[in-house]
């Protein structure tokens, strides 16, 4: 387990993205091979906790994953949840809203996909896009998106009051790392399918996106729905950090197996 406190954005403190090192491997002695090996017991622990959550069926966990393009959301989900029973875990991706979604308030499409008791749901992008890409690309006037930070805090408080723990992860990559990942997508045949020319347009807006992330994370990191900024230039370190944060979160939720039925004298014929 990594010490997760360096990643936590405390309520009322700035996210401080510019002074956080995306290449950090703080608190881990060793390189990629050791890092990958260290993930295995963490995956096993996550799996145990998920099984207990499922058996208890009295509360749920929502994991919000946000990152710049190529930030590693898909890889994180794949690596960290490799050993977890797919039955209890759902992944929901949010792309550009449909016409029907746009005809509603921006949280309408979100609430439908929050986890039920016993479940874990991972949001691959989320309602945060409505204060990120929407802000950067001027998709609604500022007078509208400015009010959303407060809605989001209230919405997440509602979830948490009703039994859904919310944990939010920003996979923090550097602009140089994004360049090399985009180049890899152009050059490597098995990665080309991931290349989206639109990502190059978004890259030009890098600073605007960082500013939007800085403000969103700063204004919505609360006790009940904290943000963690995960150094994500090294994929293996990112995976260790995410697994550690999730284990800590689930341990705090402390899922309990239901009381065993009285099985004295029961025989299988």
Q: E strands of 87-141, at which residues?
A: 89-93, 120-124
**Burial of 213 by CB count in 10 Å (0-12 exposed, 13-18 middle, 19+ buried)?**
buried
Interface residue with Mg ion, options 65, 69, 120, 122 (CB under 5 A): 69
Residue 92 near ligand AMP by CB under 6 A: no
Q: What is residue 163's three-state secondary structure?
A: coil
Nearer of residues 1 and 205 to ligand AMP, judged by Cβ = 205
Q: What's the min distance (Å) between Cβ of 2 and ligand AMP?
A: 26
Is residue 129 a contact residue for ligand AMP (CB under 6 A)? yes
Measured between alpha carbons, how far is 183 from 170 in angstroms, rounded to an integer?
22
Would you count residue 145 as binding ligand AMP (CB under 6 A)?
Answer: no
| Shortest CB 13 distance to Mg ion, Å | 29
Asked if residue 133 binds ligand AMP (CB under 6 A), the reply is: yes
Q: Does 185 bind ligand AMP (CB under 6 A)?
A: no
Number of residues that bind Mg ion (CB under 5 A): 1
Q: Applying CB under 5 A, which part among 36-44, 46-54, 61-69, 165-173 lies near Mg ion?
A: 61-69
Fill in the per-residue mask, 15 to 54: x = in contact with Mg ion (CB under 5 A), - = not in contact.
Answer: ----------------------------------------
Least distance in angstroms from the C-beta of 49 to ligand AMP: 27
The pair of three-digit structure tokens given for residue 238, joined into one six-digit string: 């990112």
Q: Is 151 helix (H, G, I), strand (E, B) or coil?
A: helix
How far is 154 from 142, CA to CA, in rounded Å? 19
User: Judged by CB, which is closer to ligand AMP: 129, or 248?
Assistant: 129
Shortest Cβ 93–ligand AMP spacing (Å): 6
Q: In Å, what is the CA distance from 254 to each residue of 75, 80, 89, 92?
A: 27, 20, 18, 25
Q: Helix, strand, or coil here: 155? A: helix
Using CB under 6 A as the binding rule, whether residue 95 contacts ligand AMP is answered as yes
Residue 94 interacts with which of Mg ion, ligand AMP, none, CB < 5 to 8 Å by class: ligand AMP
Query: Using CA of residue 210, residue 211, residue 216, residue 219, what is the dihedral sign?
Result: positive
Separation between Cα atoms, residue 15 and residue 7, nearest integer Å:
10
CB of 154 vs ligand AMP, minimal distance in Å: 18
Q: If you count them, how many residues does the chain have?
A: 269
Q: Is 129 in the site for Mg ion (CB under 5 A)?
A: no
Between CA 137 and CA 202 the distance in angstroms is 9
Give me the residues that bind ligand AMP (CB under 6 A), please.
93-97, 125, 129-130, 133-134, 139
């Amino acid at each position: 387990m990594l010490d997760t406190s360096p990643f936590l954005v405390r309520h009322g403190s700035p996210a401080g993205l510019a002074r956080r090192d995306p290449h950090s491997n703080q608190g881990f002695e060793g390189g990629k091979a050791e890092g990958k090996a260290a993930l295995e017991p963490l995956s096993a622990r996550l799996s145990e906790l998920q099984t207990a959550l499922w058996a208890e069926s009295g509360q749920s966990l929502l994991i919000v994953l946000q990152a710049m393009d190529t930030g590693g959301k898909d890889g994180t989900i794949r690596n960290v949840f490799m050993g977890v029973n797919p039955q209890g875990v759902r992944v929901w991706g949010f792309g550009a809203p449909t016409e029907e979604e746009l005809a509603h308030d921006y949280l309408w499409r979100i609430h439908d996909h929050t986890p039920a008791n016993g479940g874990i749901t991972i949001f691959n992008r989320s309602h945060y896009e409505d204060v990120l890409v929407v802000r950067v690309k001027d998709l609604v006037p500022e007078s509208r998106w400015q009010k959303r930070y407060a809605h989001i805090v209230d919405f997440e408080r509602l979830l948490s009051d009703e039994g859904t723990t919310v944990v939010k992860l920003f996979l923090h990559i550097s602009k140089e790392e994004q360049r090399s990942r985009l180049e890899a997508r152009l050059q490597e045949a098995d990665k080309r399918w991931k290349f989206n020319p639109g990502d190059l347009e978004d890259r030009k807006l890098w600073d605007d996106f960082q500013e939007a992330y800085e403000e969103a994370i700063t204004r919505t990191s609360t006790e009940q729905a904290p943000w963690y900024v995960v150094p994500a230039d090294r994929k293996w370190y990112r995976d260790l950090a995410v697994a550690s944060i999730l284990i800590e979160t689930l341990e705090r939720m402390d899922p309990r197996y239901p009381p065993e039925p009285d099985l004295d004298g029961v025989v299988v014929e």
